[in-house]
Amino acid sequence: MTDTLPRQAGPAAETTATSPVPPGTARVDLGDIPVVHTRHWFRWSIGAVVLFVVAQFVWSVFTNENYEWDVFAHYFFAEPVLIGVGYTLSLTAISAVFGFTLGTVLALGRLSKSALLRGASWSYIWFFRSVPLVVQIIVWYNLGYLYPTLGLGTPFTTDFWIVEFPTVNLISAFAAAILGLGLHQAAYSAEIIRGGLLSVDQGQQEAAAALGIPARKRLFRIILPQAMRSIVPNATNEVIGLVKGASVVFVIAIPEVFYAVQVIYNRNSRVIPLLLVAVVWYTLITTILSIAQYYIERHYARGSVRVLPPTPLQTFRHWVAAQWARLGDADTGPPPLVGVDAPLHTRTPFGASSNDAKHSEGAGS
């Protein structure tokens, strides 16, 4: 390493070398300065404590006999539990589709220019966010006490001369659960969708309107795809909450996962291993939904980034290829990681720089 000050030549240089240098003006060779790395003692201490706590917990999980892992394994794929998983997935899927469809309508109502539609949408959201979910489900299940029969007929009367149904037969326990979960979810979904629509620049809609694009196409082809980047994370949180919220339907005796394990441990008193069965099933469902959220977000990020970031699988495959290339004698390294390095068609000799590859391409042309 050399200094950046100009050197004098000839006798003047010798005079300067022999003359005393005033304090504070001596040249310093930066290569002689030792590099002292910052030691993050606080970070290391916290990390050590966290690692110790995690290791202690994992050790207790495998050594504590009270977990009764044999009982857990016996009931994990038991028929009542699998039926409960099916009910949980069905309730979640149907309620999510119903809730987000109605929530989209409510969100558009709140953004409407009609004061009546805005007021009706706001009143719906206010009411269903105010009443607890378990209360809504019980009310729908016992709706027959308020309205013994439902049907079509003369308005403002109970003369259902067109069609008439007993309410108890029309609204079963499963239907009451769907109504409670779906209507409750619609109130929260409406605000999520409305927030996503408001996040899109108003100029997008104005430009589309100036081009003569119909309102429906403006919404579904221009505004909504851009709003999905803001909607998807919050919507996935709501769906995951709906998976766990479906456990509330045990109050009307629907045999979902939590109800199924409750029935079993009330008979054999194996509370902890049966609760672990429910915990693991909920964790698996949530993990699948989280993975789906990642790829959906990645899909809708195409309008905001030039190159999509690599997926975890692509990153892992690139790392394996890099390690394999280091072990071998190949002249070329692994293909560049898409979204981080150069495009896939560019192959750089292993150990060479990207500038060498550019020069070699230029020479070949």
pLDDT at 359: 42
Say which residues have a Cβ less than 8 Å from residue 187's Cβ, sequence separation at least 6.
Answer: 103, 106, 124, 125, 127, 128, 129
Residue in this structure with the two tokens 């304090």, named with its chain if needed: 23
Which tokens in the block code for residue 198? Answer: 């408001």
**pLDDT single digits (tens) 23-75:** 556 677 777 778 777 888 898 999 999 999 999 999 998 898 888 999 999 99
| Range 191-203 average pLDDT | 89
Residue 228, both tokens: 């999905």
Residue 343, pLDDT score: 41
3-state helix, strand, coil split of the chain in percent (to 5) is: 70, 5, 25
Burial class of residue 41 (count of CB atoms within 10 Å of its CB; 0-12, 13-18, 19+): exposed
Mean of the per-residue pLDDT values for the chain? 82
Please compute the mean of the pLDDT values over residues 152-176 and round it to a whole number. Answer: 83
Q: Return the H-helix or E-strand segment holding 197.
A: helix 173-199
Pick 3 or 105 by higher pLDDT.
105
Q: Which two tokens stand for residue 265?
A: 């441990």
- Least confident span in 58-72, 115-129, 153-167: 153-167
Write the pLDDT tens digit of every residue in 234-278: 999 999 999 988 889 988 888 899 999 999 999 988 899 999 999
What string of DSSP letters covers 62-129?
Answer: HH-GGG-HHHHHHHHT-HHHHHHHHHHHHHHHHHHHHHHHHHHHHHHHHTSS-HHHHHHHHHHHHHHH
Query: Tell me: the pLDDT tens digits for 95-112?
Result: 999 999 999 999 999 998
